[in-house]
């Protein structure tokens, strides 16, 4: 009996030691570069994903253009959410995995003014032209897709020389803040970036063929630290349950 007890105790101790030494599964961390246009959607969806999976999401928000430059200079996020064109370019450059692009939502560019201010007429290209010429100052995103597009719009309308001196460049972030602070009379940006800014009113989207509808997509890095966790995040933000959030935040859902 004594011999058996010694053997049993030794076996139990060895088993306990193995349990202590066994690795404990850790939650994955996914690093994400997310476009400002998709920021409000992501801010609402990410906590839900983290609660459901136990994984941790580390996010940087900026413009698509700035992300491309950062990745070119060596940044290696696990996941990028940017314009579809940028995702395709990064895939061609080998920065993101081939075939990993998943379209998430579409976005329109809108114009806003300070809350309570008279709303300019932008219902037609001609009306927009007159309103832009009448405006004293116009906030425009320096590195955003909307900012580059606006320069094309005023060229097409034939008023670039008159309007460019009135442009207030916004280095990064929402142009709506410049409107609220009185630095600009009006401004334009993705509707999803204008919507959350308190103190402004959205006049409406750019009219007719002057509008640029941008698709925002996700792309995975081939060297993601935890590819399965990154894929699960993409599936979550592109799935049907996420579509009401996308619509609520001023974007057009896929479903």
CB atoms within 10 A of CB 101: 19
Instruction: Provide φ and ψ at 218, rounded to 5°.
Output: -110, 145
Same domain, residue pair 183 and 116:
yes
DSSP 155: H
* CATH number of residue 165's parent domain: 3.40.190.10
pTM confidence score: 0.84
Percent of the chain scored above 70 by pLDDT?
89
pLDDT tens, 166-211? Answer: 999 998 889 999 999 999 999 999 999 999 999 999 999 999 999 9
Same domain, residue pair 230 and 182:
no
Q: If pLDDT is split at 50, 70 and 90, which confidence band does 136 have?
A: very high
> Is the confidence at residue 218, as pLDDT, over 90?
yes
Tokens 């996010």 sit on residue: 59
Residues 6 or more apart whose CB falls under 8 angstroms from that of 118 comprise none
Residue 19 domain flag: no
Residue 15 domain flag: no
| 50-64 residues labelled b (16+ CB within 10 A) or e (exposed) | eeebebebebebbbb
Smallest Cα–Cα separation from 218: which of 106, 108, 103, 107? 103
Q: If pLDDT is split at 50, 70 and 90, which confidence band does 16 have?
A: very low
Residue 202 domain flag: yes
Residue 22 domain flag: no
Domain count, the chain: 2
Same domain, residue pair 127 and 71:
no
Same domain, residue pair 151 and 91:
no
The boundaries of the domain holding residue 74 are 29-106+215-253
């Amino acid at each position: 009996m004594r011999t058996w007890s010694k053997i049993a105790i030794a076996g139990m101790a060895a088993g306990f030691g193995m349990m202590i030494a066994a690795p404990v599964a850790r939650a994955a961390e996914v690093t994400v570069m997310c476009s400002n246009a998709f920021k409000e959607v992501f801010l609402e969806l990410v906590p839900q994903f983290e609660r459901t999976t136990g994984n941790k999401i580390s996010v940087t928000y900026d413009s698509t253009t700035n992300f491309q430059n950062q990745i070119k200079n060596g940044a290696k996020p696990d996941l990028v959410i940017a314009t579809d064109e940028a995702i395709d370019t990064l895939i061609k450059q080998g920065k993101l995995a081939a075939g990993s692009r998943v379209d998430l939502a579409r976005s329109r560019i809108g114009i806003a003014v300070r809350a309570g201010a008279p709303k300019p007429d932008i219902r037609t290209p001609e009306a927009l032209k007159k309103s832009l010429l009448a405006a004293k100052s116009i906030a425009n995103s320096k590195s955003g897709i909307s900012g580059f597009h606006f320069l094309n719009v005023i060229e097409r309308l034939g008023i670039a020389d008159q309007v460019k001196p009135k442009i207030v460049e916004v280095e990064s972030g929402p142009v709506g803040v410049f409107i609220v602070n009185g630095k600009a009379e009006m401004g334009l940006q993705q509707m999803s970036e204008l919507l959350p800014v308190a103190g402004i009113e959205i006049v409406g989207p750019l009219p007719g063929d002057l509008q640029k509808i941008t698709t925002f997509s996700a792309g995975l890095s081939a060297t993601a630290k935890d590819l399965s966790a990154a894929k699960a995040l993409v599936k979550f933000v592109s799935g049907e349950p996420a579509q009401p959030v996308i619509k609520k935040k001023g974007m057009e859902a896929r479903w």
